[in-house]
Amino acid sequence: MSDAAGIANSYTPPPQDRFAAGLRGFGPVGILAVLVIAAGQIVAPLSALLVLAWTSLSRTPWREIGYVRPKSWVASLAAGTVFGILFKVFMKAIVMPLLGANPTNRAYHYLAGNPAALPAAVFTMIFVAGFGEETVFRGYMFERLGKLLGRSLAARIFTVFASAALFASLHYFDQGLAGAQQAIITGLVFGTVFAVTGRIWMLMCAHAAFDLTAVGMIYLNLESAVAHVIFKQ
């Protein structure tokens, strides 16, 4: 028995296992991974691709970042699409006017009646926003903060607010205060859904649908009409 115990105690995990454990932890390797993924936001959606690489290399179960196969792909994606469209209309027609936001999104007004700009905008809304931002701000951030703070209700509430605040701060730089206000609300809603369900595919679809609806409003010059449908001016 003593020989067996000695062999067990002398076992050294292979380098790939030690590296994976380091990526999952919060030592130098783990912190460096966080910083590299954060820096990837400069070239969206690089951060999301780095998150997928981190998940694989760290041997983190995919379900931990919300990549859980839905019971029905059709139902999940349909629900996300409908939710995203209705959520955007609700934000544009009710919430943002109450916050005093300009009915026109100046940062993206160049899309109005501009078919040449549509392909890039559609790509951005689907892959950068839908896939990229959800993978980073919901999947990755919730996994990291969950490991750091635990899974208590208080920890999950903090994670929802922290992820929404960071999400909003990034939108401030290109869309100003109104963009940050809208982003923190959407971040809180999407974060709450993720905290409850632990599933990301519906949210990816909802996020993309939300932003594509915004693009459609801008392209068709409907922003002002939707913003004033209830609060007339």
Euclidean distance between CA atoms 82 and 48, whole angstroms: 24
Residues in the chain: 233
- Is position 22 within any domain? no
- Quick: pLDDT tens for 45-97: 899 999 999 999 999 999 999 999 999 999 999 999 999 999 999 999 999 99
User: Residue 158: its pLDDT value, please?
Assistant: 97
Backbone φ and ψ of 103, nearest 5°: -65, -15
The arithmetic mean of pLDDT across residues 215-233, rounded, is 91
User: Residue 165: its pLDDT value, please?
Assistant: 96
Q: What contacts 169, CB < 8 A, 6 or more positions away?
A: 180
Question: What is the three-class DSSP state of 184?
Answer: helix
> What is the tally of structural domains in the chain?
1
User: Residue 45: its pLDDT value, please?
Assistant: 85
Nearest alpha-carbon partner for 158 in 201, 188, 178, 179: 188
Sign, CA dihedral 180-182-187-188, equals positive
- Is position 130 within any domain? yes
Euclidean distance between CA atoms 204 and 80, whole angstroms: 8
Share of the chain above pLDDT 70, in %: 94
Averaged confidence pLDDT in the chain: 92
- Is position 52 within any domain? no
- Quick: pLDDT tens for 189-211: 999 999 999 999 999 999 999 99
- Quick: pLDDT tens for 90-131: 999 999 999 999 999 999 999 999 999 999 999 999 999 999
pTM above 0.75, yes or no: yes
Residue with tokens 């955007």: 88
- Is position 116 within any domain? yes
Question: Does a cis peptide bond (omega within 30 degrees of 0) precede residue 70?
Answer: no
- Is position 21 within any domain? no
- The answer to whether the beta carbons of residues 211 and 125 sit under 8 Å apart is yes
- Quick: pLDDT tens for 134-148: 999 999 999 999 999
Residue 96's domain spans which residues?
70-227
The arithmetic mean of pLDDT across residues 160-186, rounded, is 95
